[in-house]
């Protein structure tokens, strides 16, 4: 079935049914866009824990912001 076949049928639907069709299509598109997680799989996750470089950079940014506000 093509969209050309669907359009006349969709036009004939009541407003509530059109909204249901829209919700269905949006959910389908969202599901296709989102990466899916596999059960039992292991995924790496970055964390700033023990990231001394990140802590140092944050400290520098906070210090420069403090200086800018005190100037």
pLDDT in tens, 22-38: 999 999 998 888 777 78
- Backbone conformation region of residue 51, classed left if phi is above 0, alpha if psi is from -120 to 50, else beta: beta
Q: Which of 17-21, 22-26, 44-48, 60-64 has the lowest mean pLDDT?
A: 44-48
Q: Which two tokens stand for residue 65?
A: 């912001």
pTM metric for this prediction: 0.46
pLDDT at 38: 82
How high is the mean pLDDT of the chain? 89
pLDDT reading at 60 higher than 90? yes
Which residue is listed with tokens 């950079």?
57
């Amino acid at each position: 079935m093509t969209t050309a076949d669907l359009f006349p049928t969709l036009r004939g639907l009541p407003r509530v049914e059109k909204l249901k069709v829209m919700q269905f299509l949006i959910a389908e598109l969202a599901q296709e866009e989102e990466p899916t997680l596999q059960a039992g799989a292991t995924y790496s996750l970055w964390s700033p824990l023990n990231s001394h470089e990140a802590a140092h950079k944050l400290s520098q940014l906070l210090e420069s912001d403090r200086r800018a506000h005190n100037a």
